[in-house]
Amino acid sequence: MKYRVLSIFFIFTLLMTSTTFADLSIPKPLSAKIQNLVAMLSDGYAVGYPKATMIQTIKGGFNIEVTLAVFTIEGFGGGNNYSQYLAAFSPETMENGKQPFRLIDVIRIGGGAWRAIRELNAKSTPELKSDEATIAIEALENTDDDPPNFPSKKSTITLVLKNGHFYEK
């Protein structure tokens, strides 16, 4: 019960402290893709938490735009736990004007008793002559003294997006 209250408080705090998702309207096609990822990654008990979804468009390799989405899935195994995922999408617009947001890759990037992203403010260093980009995201990590859903140690997650896959450095 204690951890459930702490988890609820953490999610409430996450919602109140981050303005990234509050200020951005997530395009419907992208929202649908994220919902599909939630369905695929869920164990049948876990559900998405759309209010905690954050998006940002950055420059990827070859200086091509990539839309990043951090989304949360909670309730795995029917319990009071969550995971955060980072997905990369190609936001290219088709000739008919539609923007299908093709999925590039998805990676688990945070979760209870590990680390959390409170605000998506990714810094990208694209390679202009290849499809590689280095992405840095500020996060908080749990220390041995932290409750599971209250990370306190500031850290930077460094990822490489290369050949259509995320790799954590």
124-157 pLDDT tens trace: 999 989 999 999 999 999 999 999 889 999 999 9
CA dihedral 123, 128, 130, 135 (to 10 degrees): 0
Whole-angstrom distance, CA of residue 68 vs CA of residue 58: 7
Contacts of 78 (CB under 8 A, 6+ apart): 45
User: What b/e sequence results for 35-71 when a residue is b if at least 16 CB atoms lie within 10 Å of its CB, and e otherwise?
Assistant: eebbeebeeeebebbeebbbbbebebbeeeebbbbbb
| pLDDT of 8 strictly over 60 | no
Mean pLDDT of the chain: 88
pLDDT at 24: 55
pLDDT at 94: 86
User: What b/e sequence results for 78-99 when a residue is b if at least 16 CB atoms lie within 10 Å of its CB, and e otherwise?
Assistant: eebbbbbbbbbbbbeeeeeeeb
What's the pLDDT band for 20 if we cut at 50, 70, 90? very low
Tell me the HSE value of 54 on the side-chain side, using a 13 A CA sphere. Answer: 20
Give residue 138's domain range. Answer: 2-168
pLDDT tens column, 77-94? 999 899 999 999 998 888
Whole-angstrom distance, CA of residue 166 vs CA of residue 69: 13
Q: pTM higher than 0.75 for the full model?
A: yes
Question: Bigger pLDDT: 65 or 20?
Answer: 65
Rg (CA), the chain: 16
Average pLDDT, integer, range 62-88 = 95
Q: Which of 23-27, 96-100, 150-154, 157-161 has the lowest mean pLDDT?
A: 23-27
| pLDDT of 25 strictly over 90 | no
Please count the structural domains in the chain: 1
Average pLDDT, integer, range 1-16 = 47
What's the pLDDT band for 2 if we cut at 50, 70, 90? low
Contacts of 75 (CB under 8 A, 6+ apart): 45, 46, 47, 81, 82
